[in-house]
Amino acid sequence: MNNPVIRASGIRKSYPGVEAVRGIDFEVRRGECFGILGPNGAGKTTTMNMVQGYTPLSGGELLVFGMSIEDRPRRIKARMGVVPQEDNLDPDLTVAENLRVYARYFDIRKKAAAEITGRLLEFVALTEKKDQRIPDLSGGMKRRLLIARALVNDPDLVILDEPTTGLDPQARHLIWQKLRGLKKTGSTLALTTHNMDEAAQLCDRLVIMDHGLILDEGSPRQLLERHVRGSVFEFDAGEEQAGRLFGCLERIEHESETSGDTVFVYTDDAEAVLKQTSCFPEVGFLHRQATLEDVFLKLTGRELRE
């Protein structure tokens, strides 16, 4: 029971001219929600595609349920549920039909499939929409239906690729609630995301990836403690003002970085920063608690990714 659900050892994926995943190690433990965070092009989706057996490895070893994904892909996939990033529901079928038809891929008999469909539609709060067709659903409803479909075979592992991308806050929080409910039942979840709130809300442990490498690993709290201090100040300061600002902060223990005309100051002594900069009223600032997003930006940089 203590064996990891996923164990990756030095896994790599190369394409002509591109090394998308560059020899990474990680484990996903039974009953936890494990996250892979990273900017666009970091390699997180490629990593999950290898776990699902959709993308062959270029090197390393990948065990899922203790079996090699290269040797036993069918047995592994039978115990896995997947929520893809893109909507691939059948638009010609109703909500309920999408689940019943999908159940047949796992040789679930018609009566059992109907019972599973009813239970899952109730779980994702779509019972009243069971006879509607997919084009009539909102984005949030489609995402919830994709989650329900991923649970049809009662999987031991659920993989979620950017599960709430493009959703409004209400729909996003409802999906988080459903995923927390899954975790309480003992399900193992592995998700990719670049939504820091999502990672902080759901993940027991996570890795931050960039350029095909894992930059760090730990719980959200561990990563915060390791990389940023408790308080963050964002000062609106140009080059000349920034020089004066750094002079004011010389005697205070802090870390700082500059992005454009914004100076970010990380400190455990917010009162001292406020006192030292009170004589510098022409510089506006925002004071807030450090978040996982600060860790993410510190490790991966603030430049725009296309």
Q: Give pLDDT, residue 80.
A: 96
Q: Give pLDDT, residue 305.
A: 65
- pLDDT-derived band of residue 302, with 50, 70 and 90 as boundaries? confident
CB 100 within 8 A of CB 49: no
Per-residue pLDDT of 59-113, as tens digits, reads 999 999 999 999 999 999 999 999 998 899 999 999 999 999 999 999 999 999 9
Cβ count near 239 (within 10 Å): 8
Q: Give pLDDT, residue 167.
A: 87
Per-residue pLDDT of 261-272, as tens digits, reads 899 999 999 999
Q: Give pLDDT, residue 283.
A: 83
Helix axes 292-300, 220-227, angle to 10 degrees: 60
Separation between Cα atoms, residue 211 and residue 224, nearest integer Å:
21
Q: Give pLDDT, residue 304.
A: 64
As a whole number, mean pLDDT of residues 201-223 equals 96
As a whole number, mean pLDDT of residues 33-43 equals 93
Q: Give pLDDT, residue 135.
A: 96
CATH number given to 229-289: 3.30.70.860
Q: Which residues contact 38 (CB under 8 A, 6 or more apart)?
A: 44, 192, 194, 208, 209, 210, 300
- pLDDT-derived band of residue 278, with 50, 70 and 90 as boundaries? confident
User: Domain boundaries in the chain?
Assistant: 6-225, 229-289
Q: Give pLDDT, residue 306.
A: 60
* Phi and psi angles of residue 248, each rounded to the nearest 5 degrees, phi first: -65, -30
Query: CATH top-level class for 6-225?
Result: alpha beta
> Parallel, antiparallel, or unpaired: how do β-strands 255-259 and 231-236 relate?
unpaired
Per-residue pLDDT of 133-142, as tens digits, reads 999 999 999 9
Per-residue pLDDT of 161-170, as tens digits, reads 989 988 889 9
pTM (2 decimals)? Answer: 0.88
Characterise 132 by phi-psi region: left (phi > 0), alpha (psi -120 to 50), beta (else): beta
- pLDDT-derived band of residue 159, with 50, 70 and 90 as boundaries? very high
Please say if the pLDDT value at position 1 is more than 70: no
In DSSP terms, 11 is beta-bridged to 24
- pLDDT-derived band of residue 209, with 50, 70 and 90 as boundaries? very high
As a whole number, mean pLDDT of residues 39-58 equals 93
